[in-house]
Amino acid sequence: MKTNMGNTDRVIRVVMAIIFAILYFTNIIGGTMGIVLLVLAAVLLLTSLVAFCPLYALLGFSTCPAKRI
């Protein structure tokens, strides 16, 4: 896997995952929507940890800064 996520994108994903988890575990959002948010939080956290987003790869998109030679 080639890295396709920059640091800003990774931080935003971690923050969103934390917010989604807080919304679920404080019972602000529950039921099916809560489960969906919790799964989305897990996906966001996982993709930010490995710095690779399959959707970005599929669309040919990258937020990773260009490497200088």
If one counts the domains in the chain, the total is 1
Does residue 44 form part of some domain?
A: yes
Mean pLDDT per segment of 10 residues, for the chain of length 69 residues?
88 96 94 95 95 89 76
What is the rounded distance in angstroms from the CA atom of residue 38 to the CA atom of residue 44? Answer: 10
Residue 68: per-residue pLDDT = 57
- Domain assignment present for residue 69? The answer is no
> pLDDT at position 69, please?
60
**Domain extent at residue 42:** 7-50
Residue 29 belongs to a domain: yes
What pTM was estimated for this model as a whole?
0.84
**What was the pLDDT predicted at 65?**
82
User: 50-55 long-range contacts, Cβ below 8 Å, gap at least 24?
Assistant: 50/1, 51/3, 51/4, 51/5, 51/10, 52/1, 52/2, 52/3, 52/4, 52/5, 53/4, 53/5
- Give a yes or no: residue 30 inside a domain: yes
Residue 14 in any domain: the answer is: yes
